[in-house]
Amino acid sequence: MPTARDPAVELQHALLSRLKLRQLSLLQAIDRHRTLSRVAAEMQLSQPAITKALHEVEDIFGSTLFERSSRGLVPTAAGDAVLHYARRWLAELEATTRVLTSLEAGRSGRLRLGLTQQVPQQLMSAALTHLLDRSPRISVMVREGTTDELVAGLVARELDCAIGRSYDGDASGLVQEAIHEQEPCLVVGAKNVKRLSRGPLDWARLAQLDWILPPPNTPMRRTYNAIFVGAGVQPPLPILETTAIRSIETVLRQEPNAITIFARDVLAGMEPAGHWAALPYRLSWNLPPVSFFTLKELEAHPTVRSLRGAVVETARRMKRSAG
């Protein structure tokens, strides 16, 4: 009696027996360049050879992965799904090679850490000191970015853990723990503090200034927009959208009406430069908490677990000291 056919099992068998890693690299190259001629030039192959290779990959997956359009070759729905996992598989392979290289160099492993620019100096120092003072030593890769960028890096398996603002989006397998509360303050160029702090706190007046805000659709931008809306004021159109500290400092120093919002403890670590300072207002809300992020599959990893413990303990000491 014939058995029921399971397409998923058949596809899995085809992938295990026929799919090669270089074919995943080919798909990424096509997605990057969107024309086979450019892919052929990058891979130093003929265009017919690239066309044949793409047809072989599509035959393995049993689906058309790219279709021609006015914008060149664009992924189909199946192509998007395959590319999503191809990026993860290749990122995991790259991570494995880095770990093996670290082991061969006498290190005990490698950790990829993400940080936002508004992580307090004490937490950043605690994390890096904990990692770099380990014996035997490990290799550490640090990437800075917004919380959204760091979460994307975690999901893509390009990072092992991160310290950033709490994340309000949907990310499969993400584990986050709030570890530190921060008080916000309004920050302007140091020479402009007296002029811009006249009178009581007035969000309508502040909205008329030249704002430096995080990029659109980031957790912090959504928070700041909500503050203006809650005060009955239209969120301002910023003159600069960035989280880059040096860019923020430059504009605050040069523009007489420039203003932004910073965590007070982060600002305290930067004030000796003398280029910016907080306005003398106390805000009635807190910033989204600083959080420790990793993936469910990595939270029991010894290095990730010990780093989390060191960062959480440092955050507790900071809270006791502030109290």
Bridge-partner residues for 175, per DSSP? 294
Domain identity same for 205 and 273: yes
**Within this chain, do residues 149 and 193 fall inside the same structural domain, yes or no?**
no
Q: What is the DSSP string of 121-172?
A: HHHHHHHHHHHHT-SS--EEEEEE--HHHHHHHHHTTS-SEEEEE---S--T
Is residue 93, in this structure, part of any structural domain at all?
no
CA distances from 312 to 15, 117, 141, 262 (A): 42, 18, 20, 22
Residue 2 lies in a domain: no
Report yes or no on 96 lying in a domain. no
Q: Are residues 273 and 301 in the same domain?
A: no
Strand runs labelled E in the chain: 66-69, 72-75, 110-115, 139-144, 161-165, 174-180, 184-189, 210-213, 240-241, 258-263, 276-278, 290-295
In a domain, 144, yes or no: yes
Residues 192 and 253 in one domain: yes
Residue 265: give its domain's CATH number.
3.40.190.10
Token match 């398996």: residue? Answer: 157
pLDDT for residue 234: 94
Residues 118 and 198 in one domain: no
Q: How far apart are CA 122 and CA 240, in angstroms?
A: 28
103 in a domain, yes or no?
no
What distance in Å separates the CA atoms of residue 16 and residue 18, rounded to the nearest whole number? 6
| CATH number where 55 lies | 1.10.10.10
Dist CA 165 CA 163 (whole Å): 7
| Residue 172 and residue 212 share a domain | no
- Domain limits for position 54: 7-85
Q: Are residues 11 and 140 in the same domain?
A: no
d(CA 64, CA 229): 47
The reply to whether 233 and 199 lie within a common domain is: yes
Q: How many CA atoms lie within 13 A of 254 on its CB side?
A: 9
Q: Is 90 domain-assigned?
A: no
Q: Judge contact between 295 and 174, C-beta under 8 A.
A: yes
Instruction: Provide the 3-class DSSP secondary structure of residue 227.
Output: helix
Name the pairing type of β-strands 184-189 and 161-165: unpaired
Residue 130 CB: number of other CB atoms within 10 A?
18
311 contacts 126 by C-beta, under 8 angstroms: yes
pLDDT at res. 99: 63
Q: Do 202 and 70 share a structural domain?
A: no
Q: Looking at the structure, tell me whether residues 64 and 210 fall in a common domain.
A: no
Please give the tally of structural domains in the chain: 3
Whether 296 and 255 map to the same domain: the answer is: no
Q: Kindly state whether residue 240 falls inside one of the protein's structural domains.
A: yes
Q: Give the residue from 51, 85, 119 where a domain finishes.
A: 85
Q: Is residue 14 part of a domain?
A: yes
DSSP string, 20-50: -HHHHHHHHHHHHH-SHHHHHHHHT--HHHH
Q: Which residues of the chain have pLDDT under 70?
A: 1-4, 95, 98-108, 271-274, 323
Same domain assignment for residues 171 and 210: no
